[in-house]
Structure 1
Amino acid sequence: MKPLYERSSTITDTGHLDVPIRTAIATHAENNQLGDVLANARAVCETRSVRLYRNGLLARLTGSGDPDREHRTIAILTPTYLVIVVAGDKRGIHVRSARLQAISFNPNRAAGIDSGISVVAHWSGEIASQAVSAFYLGLGDDEAGQAFLIAFREAVVAAKTH
């Protein structure tokens, strides 16, 4: 099977994020009592995802496909939370977060065709009214994406053992 996206990641810091994204993160943090996410970030990874193919016929008819040909995902680790921002021209900016202690990982069903990880948690933000659900965190299959993935796994283990 062919990959659906071309992804590339960079390790960055919150000071280099666009103002609208920083504002969305700060608003989400305030609304969900997360503390100062921007100041407390321990690791930040920005991933650029470019869809390689058009949405399929069913996705186009139902509107369930990815609305953007290209989008950015910013993953932020704090001592207590994972905060994920997804931003695209059509979708806008969406922020979600979960406590590291409550996160688990689904086996990567996309292994071999996509890089990233399926994160299972009770998310705050856009889908807060839903029960525990999975969110696929796409990361680049590059040094930065893999470094963030290692740091993320280690942060979840540390949160669960302390």
Structure 2
Amino acid sequence: MATYVRHTRPVQIDELPAHVRENLSAHAESRQLALGTARLWLTHSENPPAGSAFGRLVGRRLNPADPDAEHITVLVLHPTHLLVVTDGAKRGTAVLSLPLMQASVAAGTGLGPAFDRLADEPGGFTITGFAGEQPGSYFVGMGPEPEAVDCFEEVRSAIAAAKNPT
């Protein structure tokens, strides 16, 4: 059973919760990124109650490591950058970004086909290339909707176009 129940849909920036929009806008402004032409997708992730009777009794969730019963992830495809926003009641709001030229993307967890077959999180993709001592990666969980596939394809195409200009 998958750890999360997810649903993905395209959104406009004004549809985001005010505090998420403010954090995203502040992050973008600090990097001189105008979000006017950016494409956005929002994934709502629910961490349902544990399946066992004992787990339900003590209020455990299917993913006990996640402090939130639900959270959102917003993927922003800017003409030159990729931004990821995560927001939950306990985890707070975090924004990451990287230039498309620096990014790589792979379907699944990015840990290989054998792991993806066993993983609880089959729906989504991994973005690699975030700055750090070693390039960091981030798994973006997606819902089963066709819009999630469109999101992945648009991100993959944008990265390829940035790295291979005509």
Under TM normalisation by the shorter chain, which class is it? 0.7 to 0.9
Considering only aligned residues, what root-mean-square deviation do their CA atoms show, in Å? Answer: 2.1
**CA-CA distance at 1:107 after TM superposition:** 5.6
The answer to whether structure 1 residue 116 and structure 2 residue 124 are counterparts is yes
**CA-CA distance at 1:131 after TM superposition:** 3.2
CA contact 1:73–1:86 (8 Å) conserved in 2 = yes
- SS at the partner of 2:116? coil
Paired position in structure 2 for 1:126? none
Distance 2:12 2:163 in 1: 25
Equivalent pairs, count: 147
The answer to whether structure 1 residue 158 and structure 2 residue 161 are counterparts is yes
TM-score, normalised with respect to structure 2 = 0.79
**CA-CA distance at 1:116 after TM superposition:** 0.5
Unaligned runs of 5+ in 1: 124-128
| Residue type at the aligned position of 1:68 | D
Paired position in structure 1 for 2:151? 148
CA contact 2:11–2:40 (8 Å) conserved in 1 = yes
Distance 1:151 1:89 in 2: 29
CA contact 1:48–1:73 (8 Å) conserved in 2 = yes
Q: Does the C-alpha gap of structure 1 residues 10 and 106 become closer, same or farther in structure 2, counting only changes over 3 Å?
A: closer
CA contact 1:140–1:146 (8 Å) conserved in 2 = no
Distance 1:86 1:138 in 2: 11
The answer to whether structure 1 residue 133 and structure 2 residue 130 are counterparts is no
Distance 1:10 1:155 in 2: 19
Unaligned runs of 5+ in 2: 51-59, 109-114
| Cα deviations by residue, 1:95-149 (Å, 9 ceiling, x for unpaired) | 11111111113462435742100111124xxxxx553111001111211111111
| Residue type at the aligned position of 1:51 | N
Paired position in structure 1 for 2:15? 16
**CA-CA distance at 1:36 after TM superposition:** 1.6
| Residue type at the aligned position of 1:100 | L
% identical aligned pairs = 26
Where does structure 1 differ by over 6 angstroms across 4 or more consecutive aligned residues?
none
Q: Does the C-alpha gap of structure 1 residues 48 and 107 become closer, same or farther in structure 2, counting only changes over 3 Å?
A: closer
Paired position in structure 1 for 2:92? 92
